[in-house]
Structure 1
Amino acid sequence: MGCGASQEAPPELPQQEYFKPAPNGVGSMPPRAADDRSLVVMTSKDTITVVTSPSLVRSAPSQLAEEVHVSVNEEAADKPKTGEEGAFELPEGEFEDGMLGISGLLIGQVFPQEEDSIQALRTTLALEEHFCDEDFPADNSTIFFSERTDADIEWKRPFELVDEPQLFIDGASRRDVVQGCLGDCWFLSSCAAVARKPKLIERVVPPDQALFGDGYTGLVVCRFWRFGEWVTVCIDDRLPTKDGVLIFARSAEPSEFWVALVEKAYAKLHGTFEALEGGQSMDAMVDLTGGLAERYEMEDIENLKKLYAHLLKSSRNGAFITCSRKGDWRNATKADKHGLVEGHAYTVSGVARIKHEDLGTVNMIRVRNPWASGDEWNGDWADSDERWSGVPEEQRTRLGISSLSDGEFWMSYDDFCEQFEEVSVCTIGPDFDNDGTVDHVGQVKAIKGEWIPGQTAGGSRNDFEKFATNPQFLLTVEEPDDDDDDGCNVLIGVMQEHRRSNRHMGVKMLQIAFFLYKTDDPNKRLPLSHFYYNYEDGTSGTYINFREVLSREDLVPGHYVIIPATFLPESPGYFMVRVYSPKPFQLKKLPE
C-alpha cells in the first residue's frame, strides 16, 4: 500500500440495524464513544492484528503511518422520551417554510425596525377594537393538531377574567409558574428555571405591555431565540378557559398573566398547544436565553460526585437547571408513593451543602414540581422531616426551609440520583472547563450550512466516499489559553434547523454528529484518503436526533476541520456551527 488513497477502496460496510435505542433503555443517552472501531495494521509478514478501542486513535507509529487503515461501524440512537408525550404523536415531515408562528412583518421584511412594524400593526386597529390573531385563532385548531375537539372551551381575555390584569406582579419568579392540563412540563420547568433572572424573562415577554386600560390593544409580543437569532411572535391575549378558569399554564397570582401568554406564544411557534406535549428542557432553556444547554444522564456519569460539584458551581454562578424523573410516562398524571411524578420534568431551584450535627456534610438539591401542588417528595429531608432539626437554624433560614404545599422540596443528592434520570444545565455563555462558571468569551462565531442530497448530504463514515462530501469548516486556533502551556479550550456546537414545517406536522429531526480532524493544509478540504488513514481528533459522540450536539475540546494552536454530518446519507437539512473560545480563532467554510 503506497502513500495516499489505496487504489482499491475498502469494502463498504453493510448499513443495517442503523437505528438502535439508547443502550441504557428508554430515557438514557448513548455512550460517549462515537462508534465501534478497530485499528487494522498489516505487518511485513502479512499477518493481521486487530485492536478494538473505544477511544480516539490520534496517530499511528511513524513506520506504520502508510499502513494504517481506519475502520468504523457507526451507529445512531433516538433521543429519549421526555415523559409527557401525549396520546397522539405529532407526525413528522420534511422542512418547508420554517416561519410558523413568526410574522415576517415583524422581523424586518416590511419595516426596517421591529418596533415600527409592531406599532403599525397596533394602529391598524379601530377605536375600542382588540387584536385578533388570524394566524392562531381562538378555536380548536389552535389547541389540537389531532382530530380531537372540545366544545366546552371558552376563549377569554385577561380583563374578562380578573380586574386590572398585569403581565408581571412584583417581577418574575419561579413560584409564578403553575402547570395546567397540558403535558408541557419540560417548557414550564425551564420557564421557572430562567425566572431566577427576571430580566431574561422580561426579554422574552417585554413588561411594558398593557392588558387593560390605556394603551391596551389585545396584542402581546414575545421573543424567542431560534436558530441563531431572536425572533418575534405576536399573539392576541385570548386564552382557553373552562368555567372561567385557565385550562393551561397560569401564574400562582390570579391577576398575573406572563406565564399563560408566553406558553401561548410558544405554542404558536410550534403550531398548536397540543404540539407542546413532550419535549426537551434543554431546548426550551436555549429558546428562552440563547444560551448553551447540556444534558447529563445519571447512569452515564462515572463519577456522580463530580457532577454534583458541577451543579453546585453552576447554580452559584447563575446557570439554569432542570431535571426529569424516571418512570413510565403513562403514570405522569399522579404522584407515586414517594410523592414524585413519573416521567415528569422538574426545576432544580437550589443546590447546597449543609452541616448536620450527626450526619456531617450532606449534599442537597432543591427541586420544584411545576404543578405547584402538594405533590412533593416525602422521603428523607422532606419539608417536615425530623432531620432538619439537626441543621442550625441560621442555615435552615438561608435555605428557605418551609412546610408549604407548593411543590418545592429539598432532598439529598443521593436520593436525587436515585429518583431522577437526567439533569440539564443551561448557561448564558460557554463553560469551557465544565467548572460551573461561565468563562470569558474572546470570540463567538456561527456559520449556517445545508446538507443537500446528491451534493453535500454525505451521511456517516460507514461510507467514507460519501462522508467526504459533507460540508467542511476550517477552524484555526491561534494561541493557547493563558493558564495552559499547550492547549486552548474551544466549545463547538452543531444545531440543526428546528422550526416547524406546518401547523400539523413537525420537522423530522435528523440523527446528527460532528467530527474534528487536524489538518496541515488550511486551504483545501480534507480528501477522501484522509479518512482512510486518520481517526478524528474530536467528536460530539453518537449520532442522535437532538436539536444541538456539543463538545468541549482542548486544542493546540493549529488548523482543524469541523465536519457536521447526518447519520443516513442523502438526508436534507439546515444546520448551524457555533464555536466559542476565550482566545482568538478563525472559522470559515471550505470551498466544495
Structure 2
Amino acid sequence: MGSNPSKQKVKRSQSAAEVRPLANGHVPPRRTVSTLSRVTESMGIEKKSAEQPDVEFPQEEYKDGKLGITNKDTLLNYLDSLEDGELFCDPDFNADRFALFYSDRDASSFQWKRPTDLVEEWQTPQLMVDGVTRDDIKQGILGDCWFLSACAAVSQKKEYMKKIVPSDQPLCGPGYKGMVNFRFWRFGEWVDVYIDDRLPTVNGKLVYGRCTEPQEFWVALIEKAYAKLHGSYEAIEGGQAMDALVDLTGGIPQLYEIQDKDPFLFRMIGKAQQKGAFITCSRKGNWKLSTKADPNGLVSGHAYTVTEVRKIQHVRGEDKLVRVRNPWGDNNEWKGSWSDSDVNWTWVDDQTKQEIGLQAKDDGEFWMSYRDFCKQFQELTICQCIPEGDRTEESVGCFVCVKGSWECDRSAGGSRNDLHKFATNPQYSLILPEADDFDPKRDDPDLEGLCSIVISLMQEHRQSTRNVKVKKLQIAFFLYKTEESGKRLSAQHFRYQPDKAKSGVYINYREVSQQFELEPGHYILIPSTFQHNEPADYMMRVFGEKKFTLEGPLDE
C-alpha cells in the first residue's frame, strides 16, 4: 500500500497479485502471477464491525426499502384527525417492546415518556438549546457509539445539522403535535423520517442516548428516528461508524487501518479536516464486555470522534496532538501523556492553550499525542463531503453518481476466478482528460501529472421489514486502463492485462471506497460481487478535483 495509506499510487502498472491489508490488519499472502496465467481471486472476506450486535438477523433479497419511511400526506391526514389536545402516536413504530428489541428480551422495566414528562415543572423541553454541539451527546446503555460518534462529528457543521434536524419543531406549547421529523441520506437521496416523541425510560430516566442538558432532546429523538429506519433500537446495537457518517451527510467514506505513527496519516487527517471531512476512530475489542474504561481511560470495542489535530510548539520542542471525544461524554477519558491535567501542558504557553480550546473537565473529550493515538486506536474513518446536486465548478470539484443492477445470467458475473463470467459484469467508461493542478510548494512531487479520484461502490441496503435485513454481499470494484474509450473489455483483456487500481479484497461492507492517483486517460470501471449470479442493486459515486466523464453501463 506504500507509505501513504490514504492513496493508492498507480503511476506504474500494478501487478494483478498486489493486495492491500484488510481492515482487520490481516495481509493476504503475496502471489506471483504470470501475465499469461489466469488471475485467481482470494476468498471474499466476511467482516463484522468492532461493535457486533447480540443477535443475527435473517437476510433476504432487496424489496422496496421503505422501512421507516411514511408518506407525508398520510401523516398530515393523521394529524388533522387528532382531537384538541390529542398527540401523535406513530403507528409504524409504536411505543412497545418490538420498537426496543428484535430478540426476545424482557422489556417490562421500560416505560415510554414524552419530553414534557421528563423535565422539571419549571423547565421547557426543546429539541435544541442554543444550537447543536458535540458536547450535547451522551451515550446510554445501547451499544450505538458508532452512530453517536458520527453524530458528534457531524454536529460540528451547522449546514449539515440544519438539513438533518429541521428547525421550528416544538416539544410543547403552540404547534406541538407530538411529532418530530429528521432527514437521513439513504442510497443516493435524502428521506424524511417522522416519529412520535415518546422515549424509552427506566425509573423515569432516559437510558439510551441523550443530551447533557436535561431540557434538550435532539440526541434521544434522532437516535429513535435512526432506530425506526432499522426496525428497532436493538438493530442499531452494533455497526460501522462510516455507514452512519454517510447516512448523516451523503459523503464518501474511507476506512483506514492505523499502523505505527505514520506521518502521512497525520497529514491526511489534517488535510481532511481543512476540507470539512468528518472523522471517527475505533478500538478493537468486544464492546459487550467493556462496560467501563481500561486503566488508560479508553474503552475497548468502542468508537470515538476525532475533533481536531494540531502541531504545537512548546519549551521542549514540538508535538503532534490529536483531540478525541468519547460519546459517553463523562470522565472516561485518556489518562496518559497530554491528557487534560497532564504535566506536559505546563510546557505550553497560555495563548496556545486558549487557541486549541484546552479544558480540564469530565466531558469525554481529551488530547493525546499522535504517537499514543496510533498505539491505542486501530481504525480511522474519514467521510469526505461531496458537492450537492449538479455543482461541478472548479472550486468544488466534479461529482458523478450512477445506479445499476447485477442481474442473474446477464450482468452478475462475479469475481475474476472465471474471467468469461467476470467480463459480463457492468462496465463503465471513465475518462480523465487532464491532470490536477500541481503546486510544488504544497504537493507531493510524486503527484505531479496525476488526477486525484475517489471512487465508491455501495450495494443496496435499505430494509423493507423490521425483522429481516437486506442480504449483504461481498463486493469490490476494478479499474483497467484502455486505449479504446467506450468499448467493453473482453475476457482476453483480463487474462493478459492487470488492473490499474481496485478497491481491495471482496468484502461484505455496505460500501467500499478508495482514493487513487491516476494518469490522465481512458479507463474501464467494473463493479462486481464475489460470487457469480448474486442479484443486487448498486450505486457508484466518483469524485475528482478536475472535470471528468463517467458513462455506462457500456453495451455488449
| Same fold per superposition (TM over 0.5) | yes
Per the alignment, residue 502 of structure 2 pairs with: 539
Per the alignment, residue 361 of structure 1 pairs with: 318
In structure 2, how many angstroms separate the alpha carbons of the residues matched to 1:152 and 1:534? Answer: 63
SS of structure 2 residue aligned to 1:353:
strand
Which aligned pairs between 1:510-529 and structure 2 lie closer than 5 A? 510-529=473-492
Per the alignment, residue 140 of structure 1 pairs with: 97
In structure 2, how many angstroms separate the alpha carbons of the residues matched to 1:34 and 1:214? Answer: 66
Per the alignment, residue 45 of structure 1 pairs with: none
In structure 2, how many angstroms separate the alpha carbons of the residues matched to 1:286 and 1:144? Answer: 25
Alpha-carbon distance change, 121 to 473 in structure 1, aligned in 2, over 3 angstroms:
farther
Per the alignment, residue 272 of structure 2 pairs with: 314
In structure 1, how many angstroms separate the alpha carbons of the residues matched to 2:530 and 2:491? Answer: 18
Task: Kindly provide the amino acid, as one letter, of the partner of residue 384 in structure 1.
Answer: S
Per the alignment, residue 87 of structure 1 pairs with: 54
1:343 aligns with 2:301: yes
Shift of 1:460: 0.4
After alignment, is 256-265 or 120-129 more displaced?
120-129
SS of structure 2 residue aligned to 1:394:
helix
SS of structure 1 residue aligned to 2:495:
helix
SS of structure 2 residue aligned to 1:77:
coil
1:26-83 Cα deviation digits (max 9, x unpaired): x61555x89845125xxxxxxxxxxxxxxxxxxxxxxxxxxx445333332223432x
| Alignment counterpart, residue 290 of structure 2, candidates 332, 348, 368 | 332
1:296 aligns with 2:251: no
In structure 1, how many angstroms separate the alpha carbons of the residues matched to 2:205 and 2:24? Answer: 37
SS of structure 1 residue aligned to 2:135:
helix
In structure 1, how many angstroms separate the alpha carbons of the residues matched to 2:373 and 2:437? Answer: 37
8 A Cα contact 1:35 1:74, kept in partner: no
Shift of 1:501: 4.0
Task: Kindly provide the amino acid, as one letter, of the partner of residue 59 in structure 2.
Answer: E
8 A Cα contact 1:516 1:539, kept in partner: yes
1:289-316 Cα deviation digits (max 9, x unpaired): 11122111113x7x61110111123234
Shift of 1:239: 0.6
Task: Kindly provide the amino acid, as one letter, of the partner of residue 64 in structure 2.
Answer: D
Task: Kindly provide the amino acid, as one letter, of the partner of residue 28 in structure 1.
Answer: N
Per the alignment, residue 43 of structure 2 pairs with: 75
SS of structure 2 residue aligned to 1:39:
coil
Task: Kindly provide the amino acid, as one letter, of the partner of residue 477 in structure 1.
Answer: L
SS of structure 1 residue aligned to 2:345:
helix
After alignment, is 85-94 or 194-203 more displaced?
85-94
Per the alignment, residue 463 of structure 1 pairs with: 418
Shift of 1:442: 3.8
8 A Cα contact 1:293 1:427, kept in partner: yes
In structure 2, how many angstroms separate the alpha carbons of the residues matched to 1:235 and 1:34? Answer: 50
Higher relative contact order structure (alpha carbons within 8 Å, sequence separation ≥ 6):
2
8 A Cα contact 1:441 1:581, kept in partner: no
Alpha-carbon distance change, 216 to 458 in structure 1, aligned in 2, over 3 angstroms:
same
Shift of 1:167: 0.8
Shift of 1:207: 1.8
TM-score between both structures, scaled by the size of structure 1? 0.83
8 A Cα contact 1:442 1:582, kept in partner: yes
In structure 2, how many angstroms separate the alpha carbons of the residues matched to 1:249 and 1:332? Answer: 17
In structure 1, how many angstroms separate the alpha carbons of the residues matched to 2:290 and 2:494? Answer: 47
Aligned residues: 520
Alpha-carbon distance change, 81 to 553 in structure 1, aligned in 2, over 3 angstroms:
closer
1:239 aligns with 2:196: no
Task: Kindly provide the amino acid, as one letter, of the partner of residue 472 in structure 1.
Answer: Q
In structure 2, how many angstroms separate the alpha carbons of the residues matched to 1:220 and 1:554? Answer: 44
Per the alignment, residue 39 of structure 1 pairs with: 34
Bigger radius of gyration among the two: 1
8 A Cα contact 2:394 2:546, kept in partner: no
8 A Cα contact 2:246 2:252, kept in partner: yes
Which aligned pairs between 1:201-240 and structure 2 lie closer than 5 A? 201-240=161-200
Shift of 1:169: 0.3
In structure 2, how many angstroms separate the alpha carbons of the residues matched to 1:356 and 1:296? Answer: 30
1:296-339 Cα deviation digits (max 9, x unpaired): 1113x7x6111011112323443221111133334321111111
Per the alignment, residue 18 of structure 1 pairs with: none
8 A Cα contact 2:254 2:514, kept in partner: no
Per the alignment, residue 152 of structure 1 pairs with: 109
Per the alignment, residue 192 of structure 1 pairs with: 152
Alpha-carbon distance change, 23 to 524 in structure 1, aligned in 2, over 3 angstroms:
closer
In structure 2, how many angstroms separate the alpha carbons of the residues matched to 1:379 and 1:482? Answer: 42
In structure 2, how many angstroms separate the alpha carbons of the residues matched to 1:406 and 1:568? Answer: 47
1:71-122 Cα deviation digits (max 9, x unpaired): 333332223432x32332333333232111112x24xxxx6xxxxx765553
Alpha-carbon distance change, 363 to 459 in structure 1, aligned in 2, over 3 angstroms:
same
| Alignment counterpart, residue 264 of structure 1, candidates 199, 209, 224 | 224
Task: Kindly provide the amino acid, as one letter, of the partner of residue 75 in structure 1.
Answer: M
Per the alignment, residue 423 of structure 1 pairs with: 380
In structure 2, how many angstroms separate the alpha carbons of the residues matched to 1:36 and 1:93? Answer: 35
Task: Kindly provide the amino acid, as one letter, of the partner of residue 544 in structure 1.
Answer: I
In structure 1, how many angstroms separate the alpha carbons of the residues matched to 2:293 and 2:517? Answer: 44
In structure 2, how many angstroms separate the alpha carbons of the residues matched to 1:313 and 1:485? Answer: 18
Structure 1 stretches lacking a partner, 5+ long: 1-21, 41-67, 112-116, 431-437
Alpha-carbon distance change, 452 to 164 in structure 1, aligned in 2, over 3 angstroms:
same
In structure 1, how many angstroms separate the alpha carbons of the residues matched to 2:108 and 2:330? Answer: 28
SS of structure 2 residue aligned to 1:73:
coil
1:99 aligns with 2:66: yes
Alpha-carbon distance change, 263 to 417 in structure 1, aligned in 2, over 3 angstroms:
same
Shift of 1:538: 1.6
In structure 1, how many angstroms separate the alpha carbons of the residues matched to 2:69 and 2:83? Answer: 24
In structure 2, how many angstroms separate the alpha carbons of the residues matched to 1:555 and 1:411? Answer: 35
**Identity across the alignment (%):** 49
1:585 aligns with 2:548: yes
In structure 2, how many angstroms separate the alpha carbons of the residues matched to 1:224 and 1:442? Answer: 24
In structure 2, how many angstroms separate the alpha carbons of the residues matched to 1:317 and 1:442? Answer: 12
Task: Kindly provide the amino acid, as one letter, of the partner of residue 537 in structure 1.
Answer: K
TM-score between both structures, scaled by the size of structure 2? 0.88
In structure 1, how many angstroms separate the alpha carbons of the residues matched to 2:430 and 2:516? Answer: 12
In structure 2, how many angstroms separate the alpha carbons of the residues matched to 1:227 and 1:415? Answer: 37
8 A Cα contact 1:429 1:439, kept in partner: no
1:243-267 Cα deviation digits (max 9, x unpaired): 2111110000011111011100100
Per the alignment, residue 24 of structure 2 pairs with: 28
1:561 aligns with 2:529: no
8 A Cα contact 1:74 1:460, kept in partner: no
Question: What do you get for the CA RMSD once the two structures are aligned?
Answer: 2.3
Per the alignment, residue 491 of structure 1 pairs with: 454
Per the alignment, residue 10 of structure 2 pairs with: none
SS of structure 2 residue aligned to 1:190:
helix
SS of structure 1 residue aligned to 2:291:
coil
1:362-395 Cα deviation digits (max 9, x unpaired): 1111111111111111111221211111111111
1:200-240 Cα deviation digits (max 9, x unpaired): 12211112111111111111111101111111111111111
Alpha-carbon distance change, 387 to 489 in structure 1, aligned in 2, over 3 angstroms:
closer
In structure 2, how many angstroms separate the alpha carbons of the residues matched to 1:467 and 1:248? Answer: 46
In structure 2, how many angstroms separate the alpha carbons of the residues matched to 1:525 and 1:225? Answer: 33
SS of structure 2 residue aligned to 1:543:
coil
